[in-house]
Structure 1
């Protein structure tokens, strides 16, 4: 059974691109692009002033702007920690990794995408993608590193959700922003060591996290 690793996109994205604009999009993406046009920008983006203007401008050019591989487009903490450019086995990464995008569904690191702005909890994106995404995950073993909002866009029969949790004064709390970095490091470790079985998760101990059999836990 093939292993797939699911990660979220990042809100931070590189501008521009050197590849041609999209030649075609799925029906779901097309419907979402139309919904974006009709939505109230302030409610859709939750941004103000310059950031709001940029989001509006970026989405107006979805079908005409230059594209680049998704792994280069996303620039957030998880992606910085993966450090794709220094991976020795990029082909293995490209084969196993899928990104759960609100606008494009499940995409591989090498899929060409434009800059865009759409959270998966807007415009019913998660619900719209659920059936299509889940179909692609059939007969796969899934290592799920998604936030809760993105998990609403997928369903799989075989897999494991991975959480990074801090234990402070006896109380467990989500790792939060720090958790994004360790997730990226974990993804890199999975690929570099060809890990596909959760029984080996105990061998990952970066930054003091230890696998309990259910979660990665760090005492602080």
Structure 2
């Protein structure tokens, strides 16, 4: 099983790993696009104003441009530690036992606008690039990633639980992946998509699935593991789950 997580706009600072070595990253088939994007971001960082526009950020976030400028030389850390925010707080990597972290490292991957797809223990630097960014000379990221990323995703073995957010799901499709929708249920039975707590609950579900002593291989097993973690998950289609809160 592989649980595919969205990245986060925010990243942890620093790191104790060596500078970026793309050769060591999982899914080496993606390297040509990774190299193109890394080069484009480093070059773009030479023009702060243009970088702010392309990345969709304000002058108060100019430190993000500095991160991109140092993309090739800054220290790295495992992806699970680099990405931060609500989902990753709920995932709570620092609270995992050694055994749980070992299982999670094999079952989690992160979708990335810069790297396409990375395993949980791949070492990455801090950077700023989102799926909606418009980098001069590169074009839409979906058009760039789709031809190389979709074959990689189609080749994933076993059950794939797709928790990517919309913009990242738009970078490439995954045939047969099981999607997760977080919903609330009204008194009349009507279900509404949850926005505010969406990431937190996906993080909780990802934690339960990735650290379970027995790796789930079926949707039924996913629902069972979720129930043990006090999460109410229902199958609503052949490849669709709803997490009801």
Q: C-alpha deviations, 1:34-89, integer Å up to 9, x for none?
A: 433348223222222221x1111111110111111111111111111111233332
Q: Secondary structure of the residue that 1:176 maps to in structure 2? A: coil
Runs of 5+ in structure 2 lacking a partner? Answer: 24-30, 135-139
Counterparts of 1:11 and 1:153 in 2: how far apart (Å)? Answer: 16
Q: CA RMSD in A?
A: 2.3
Residue of structure 2 in register with 1:59 after alignment: 68
Residue of structure 1 in register with 2:12 after alignment: 14
Residue of structure 2 in register with 1:129 after alignment: 145
Q: Secondary structure of the residue that 2:177 maps to in structure 1? A: strand
- Give me the TM-score of the superposition, normalised by structure 2: 0.78
Residue of structure 2 in register with 1:90 after alignment: 101
- C-alpha change, 1:96 and 1:42, in structure 2 (3 Å) is same
Query: How many residue pairs end up in the alignment?
Result: 216
Contact 2:178 2:241 in 1 (8 A): no
Query: Bigger CA drift: 82-91 or 55-64?
Result: 82-91
Counterparts of 2:175 and 2:186 in 1: how far apart (Å)? Answer: 34
The runs of at least 4 aligned residues of structure 1 exceeding 4 Å deviation read 205-208
Counterparts of 2:222 and 2:103 in 1: how far apart (Å)? Answer: 18
Contact 1:18 1:68 in 2 (8 A): yes
Counterparts of 2:19 and 2:231 in 1: how far apart (Å)? Answer: 44
Contact 2:6 2:163 in 1 (8 A): yes
Counterparts of 1:24 and 1:209 in 2: how far apart (Å)? Answer: 39
Counterparts of 2:143 and 2:180 in 1: how far apart (Å)? Answer: 22
- C-alpha change, 1:33 and 1:208, in structure 2 (3 Å) is closer
Counterparts of 1:128 and 1:201 in 2: how far apart (Å)? Answer: 33
Q: Do residues 198 (structure 1) and 186 (structure 2) align?
A: no
- Give me the TM-score of the superposition, normalised by structure 1: 0.86
Q: Secondary structure of the residue that 1:211 maps to in structure 2? A: strand
Which structure 2 residues correspond to residues 49-198 of structure 1 after superposition, within 5 A? 49-51=59-61, 53-87=62-96, 88-123=99-134, 124-137=140-153, 138-140=155-157, 141-168=159-186, 170=188, 171-193=190-212, 194-198=215-219
Q: Secondary structure of the residue that 1:117 maps to in structure 2? A: coil
Q: C-alpha deviations, 1:2-49, integer Å up to 9, x for none?
A: x22111111111111111111346221222234333482232222222
Contact 1:18 1:66 in 2 (8 A): yes
Contact 2:234 2:241 in 1 (8 A): yes
Contact 1:103 1:125 in 2 (8 A): no
- C-alpha change, 1:23 and 1:190, in structure 2 (3 Å) is closer
Question: Of the candidates 20, 23, 33, which is equivalent to residue 38 of structure 2?
Answer: 33
Contact 1:201 1:211 in 2 (8 A): no
- C-alpha change, 1:6 and 1:19, in structure 2 (3 Å) is same
Counterparts of 1:168 and 1:21 in 2: how far apart (Å)? Answer: 50
